[in-house]
Amino acid sequence: MQNKWLVSVVWVAVATLISVNVAAKEYLVQDQTQFADAVSSLQPGDIVTLADGIWSDFEIDFVAKGTVEAPITLQAQTPGKVLLTGQSNLQLAGEYLIVSGLYFTRGYSPSNAVIEFRHSKTHLANYSRVTNTVIESYNNSEKFSGGNWVALYGQYNRFDHNALLGKRTSGVTMAVRLNSKESQANYHRIDHNYFGERPILGSNGGETLRVGTSHYSLSNSFTMIENNYFDRCNGEVEIISNKSGANTIQNNVFFESRGTLTLRHGNGNIVQNNVFFGNGVEHTGGIRVINGDQTIRNNYLEGVTGYRFGSGMTIMNGVPNSKINRYHQVDNAKITHNSFINLDHIHFAAGSDAERTAAPINSLFSRNLIAHNNNTDGISVFDDLSGITFKDNVVHGADELTIDNGFASKTIDLVRAENGLLYPQDPALASYGASTQLQPTTKQDTGPSWYTKPELSVAFSSGKTHTVSSTPKALYKALTAAQSGDVLQLTQGHYTVSRPLAIDKVITIKGTKGVTVSFERKSLFVLEDGGSLALSHLTISGVDAPDSAGNTMIRNTRQPTIHTYRLSMDHVVVKDLDINHSFHVFDSGYRAFADEITITNSQFSNITGDILRLNKEQDDLGIYNAEYVTLAGNEFSHIQGTLMNVYRGGTDESTFGPHVFVHNNSITNVGMGKRNKSKAVLTLHGVQVTKIEGNRFVDSPVIVINHTVGEPKTLVADNQFSGMSAPVIQELYATGPVTATLVNNTFTLNSTSTK
């Protein structure tokens, strides 16, 4: 038995090798003890094979020394059939090691990383490779102590054909570390990986790939990042955060990813032959240039919508004599032969302010092709551009050129070529924009061949419909039996719900005319981690709720959650949440984060608490509770609390949200209760995009909007305010006038409501 797993194989040395034949061994190991035994005596050429099955709580220490001719391999018996679950991780250290075919799932790493190319601070991996491996949704339940998934140390390592998806905690998905000389000038190669969906984090720390840190950013890294596919990497404003020198980022595809490839620190990087497909998705970005000697050539960007630092192309202003962690001046940037197609924004000298006064110098912008359906060049200029030479760029039919010299406006007919990209039909324009030789990396080209890349999120109403009657417990039982994506269709009747309904999947609950719901506990719905809820065509009353303060119709679990969630209400009537004081409609949990909260065509009346409480992150770290909040076409009346309180504190600029849209609502006598400490009808603090349009506000306190950082966009337009004063909008950090736009609002001091 002892030796049964030790299979001796004769390793045939390749004839060209200098070494004599070595009897390499293959160990098929069944458990952690056998693995440790095998690893303790590994020789060049040996292979350790993990038996197919579930390996739980397995911290793999793969420490060995192979040779260039005879590397040492750690592999799955069948690629993808070795599951590392629970609290597992991998550290490799030594030389010429290969790891292949592992699948990290259903758990999280107990340490700082899932895969680390080192065993200790000084014992690193060199000339080693991790391939054919997956890390899927391998998350700690503590959202903001997530660590990195992959940490590359040492030199000459390769990370290829892996898939990393579903990171929901803070910490970069993959980091190249340069924190000692042994990890600098590393010549790593990161290629053919599938960087799959990374949901919006709602904070800094959601980068997908970071190379270096500001501290070591003047060191050259020589890392090659090529042929990877970045699929909806939406964590934060930076998809790739390059913070070191002499890296090459090429032939990658960025698909509908919110954020940019940012050359944040370090000089002499090359960004070429990359393709960005924004497909019109909000906040999709391109390339952001900072520092010296950066080359940006032959990239193709299409349908990219981002603005400001998240634009399709952003050339930043620097800080004179910048500290290492601020903004070094753009010097000797070469931006040539790029195609900018339906790119909404190109920003030159972006971020120009009292600190960032150093405009780009010695730079070239040439042979680029700009074509936008809206006959615009999309260019904005924020400072002196005399340091950039503009030469031989063409723009499709722009009504007006933003920059006079170096751009020619022409009518350019574009046709889609076999490679899926658009090129000018006119052969005379062939030398502008990206090359026809570009071959975009496909999703299929990346990740392990054994792995079917899953969709992580389930859409509402994508599953089966179950008809539910109003008999006691029927709703509860149907909910328990339902699958994510299913619809519970309630038949006519009154539903008295006697226990809080835990929503731990994606569920739609639909009523019809004559469906009424009341509940006997402090909450009707509790959103658990992984749950999302859509309600429609229901009337919900608070009359049967307990006579105690602080009831809440819908709330998140009290535990922190890591899955983003969605909450939607359409054609819902909510009334009589007034049995006691502070009876709220929705209360966010601490460390809960909504992708979207959407309330449409609904009516709310006689409520003693607040409608939406989205102010649970009071630590002022730029963390908040919801990315998109929309109220449209609703009626709110006689609400003692506030319509909403959205809070994003601090000065961090790593997120695009929150976004708040309040359209075409009727809001009467909302926020006048003595327990509404905000004394506001709604309070938005640190919201990045606000649109309050076409509403009728009557007999309610003021709107309060606090602008923090990030040049927030606020529009308050076409509203009627009766018996109320004008919105109070303040700049908490920026000096100068308030940047909000207030237009076409009408104010009548006397109330017009009938009380």
Interface with Ca ion (CB under 5 A): 204, 238, 654
Alpha-carbon distances of 486 from 451, 507, 534, rounded to whole Å: 27, 6, 11
Tell me which residue of 494, 492, 500 sits closest to 520, measured CA to CA. Answer: 500
**Alpha carbon distance 394, 273 (integer Å):** 19
Please report how close the Cβ of residue 205 comes to Ca ion at its closest, in angstroms.
6
Query: If you write DSSP's letter for every residue of 55-105 in order, what string do you get?
Result: EES-EEEEEEE--SSS-EEEEESSTT-EEEEES-EEEEEEESEEEESEEEE
Between 448 and 686, name the residue whose CB sits nearer to Ca ion.
Answer: 686
Q: Give the side-chain half-sphere CA count within 13 A for 290.
A: 30
Between 205 and 649, name the residue whose CB sits nearer to Ca ion.
Answer: 205
Between 123 and 326, name the residue whose CB sits nearer to Ca ion.
Answer: 326
110: cis peptide before it, omega within 30°? no
Between 163 and 172, name the residue whose CB sits nearer to Ca ion.
Answer: 172
Between 74 and 240, name the residue whose CB sits nearer to Ca ion.
Answer: 240
Between 238 and 377, name the residue whose CB sits nearer to Ca ion.
Answer: 238
Between 201 and 639, name the residue whose CB sits nearer to Ca ion.
Answer: 201
Between 431 and 651, name the residue whose CB sits nearer to Ca ion.
Answer: 651
Q: Give the side-chain half-sphere CA count within 13 A for 735.
A: 3
Return the bridge partners of 594, or none: 565, 626
Q: Which residues contact 590 (CB under 8 A, 6 or more apart)?
A: 558, 560, 616, 617
Query: If you write DSSP's letter for every residue of 485-522 in order, what string do you get?
Result: T-EEEEPSEEEEE-S-EEE-SEEEEE--TTEEEEESSS
Please report how close the Cβ of residue 172 comes to Ca ion at its closest, in angstroms.
8
Please report how close the Cβ of residue 118 comes to Ca ion at its closest, in angstroms.
24
Please report how close the Cβ of residue 162 comes to Ca ion at its closest, in angstroms.
23
Please report how close the Cβ of residue 331 comes to Ca ion at its closest, in angstroms.
24
Beta strands in 140-245 (DSSP E): 150-152, 158-160, 163-165, 174-176, 189-191, 194-195, 209-211, 224-226, 229-231, 238-243
Please report how close the Cβ of residue 176 comes to Ca ion at its closest, in angstroms.
15
Please report how close the Cβ of residue 201 comes to Ca ion at its closest, in angstroms.
9
**Alpha carbon distance 731, 711 (integer Å):** 10
Please report how close the Cβ of residue 234 comes to Ca ion at its closest, in angstroms.
13
Return the bridge partners of 277, or none: 255, 302
Alpha-carbon distances of 489 from 254, 461, 510, rounded to whole Å: 40, 11, 5
Between 288 and 537, name the residue whose CB sits nearer to Ca ion.
Answer: 288
Please report how close the Cβ of residue 170 comes to Ca ion at its closest, in angstroms.
10
Please report how close the Cβ of residue 262 comes to Ca ion at its closest, in angstroms.
9
Between 89 and 204, name the residue whose CB sits nearer to Ca ion.
Answer: 204
**Alpha carbon distance 182, 98 (integer Å):** 20
Q: Which residues contact 451 (CB under 8 A, 6 or more apart)?
A: 80, 103, 134, 163, 194
DSSP three-state, residue 183 = helix
Please report how close the Cβ of residue 534 comes to Ca ion at its closest, in angstroms.
32
Between 79 and 286, name the residue whose CB sits nearer to Ca ion.
Answer: 286
Between 309 and 647, name the residue whose CB sits nearer to Ca ion.
Answer: 309
Between 205 and 511, name the residue whose CB sits nearer to Ca ion.
Answer: 205
Please report how close the Cβ of residue 309 comes to Ca ion at its closest, in angstroms.
11
**Alpha carbon distance 731, 647 (integer Å):** 15
Number of H helices, E strands in the chain: 2, 72
How far, in whole angstroms, is CA 663 from its chain's centroid?
Answer: 26
Please report how close the Cβ of residue 207 comes to Ca ion at its closest, in angstroms.
5
Between 247 and 262, name the residue whose CB sits nearer to Ca ion.
Answer: 262
Between 247 and 654, name the residue whose CB sits nearer to Ca ion.
Answer: 654
- Tell me the residue nearest to Ca ion as measured from the CB: 654
DSSP three-state, residue 368 = coil
- For the beta sheet containing 680-685, the strands, ordered from the edge strand earlier in sequence to the opposite edge, are 501-503, 525-527, 552-556, 584-587, 612-614, 644-647, 680-685, 702-707, 728-731
Q: What is the dihedral of CA 156, 160, 162, 164, to 10 degrees?
A: 60
Between 242 and 645, name the residue whose CB sits nearer to Ca ion.
Answer: 242
Please report how close the Cβ of residue 646 comes to Ca ion at its closest, in angstroms.
22
Buried residues in 166-194 as b, exposed as e (16+ CB within 10 A): bbbbbbbbbbbbbeeebbbbbebbbbbbb
Please report how close the Cβ of residue 256 comes to Ca ion at its closest, in angstroms.
20
**Alpha carbon distance 463, 506 (integer Å):** 10
**Alpha carbon distance 670, 123 (integer Å):** 63
Q: Give the side-chain half-sphere CA count within 13 A for 30.
A: 7
Burial tier of 224 (Cβ tally within 10 Å: 0-12, 13-18, 19+): middle
Please report how close the Cβ of residue 190 comes to Ca ion at its closest, in angstroms.
19
Contact present, 551 and 581 (Cβ < 8 Å): no
Q: What is the dihedral of CA 275, 278, 284, 286, to 10 degrees?
A: 20
Between 260 and 600, name the residue whose CB sits nearer to Ca ion.
Answer: 260
> Structure tokens of 202?
């709602």
Please report how close the Cβ of residue 244 comes to Ca ion at its closest, in angstroms.
15
DSSP three-state, residue 38 = helix
Please report how close the Cβ of residue 654 comes to Ca ion at its closest, in angstroms.
4
DSSP 22: B
Between 228 and 654, name the residue whose CB sits nearer to Ca ion.
Answer: 654
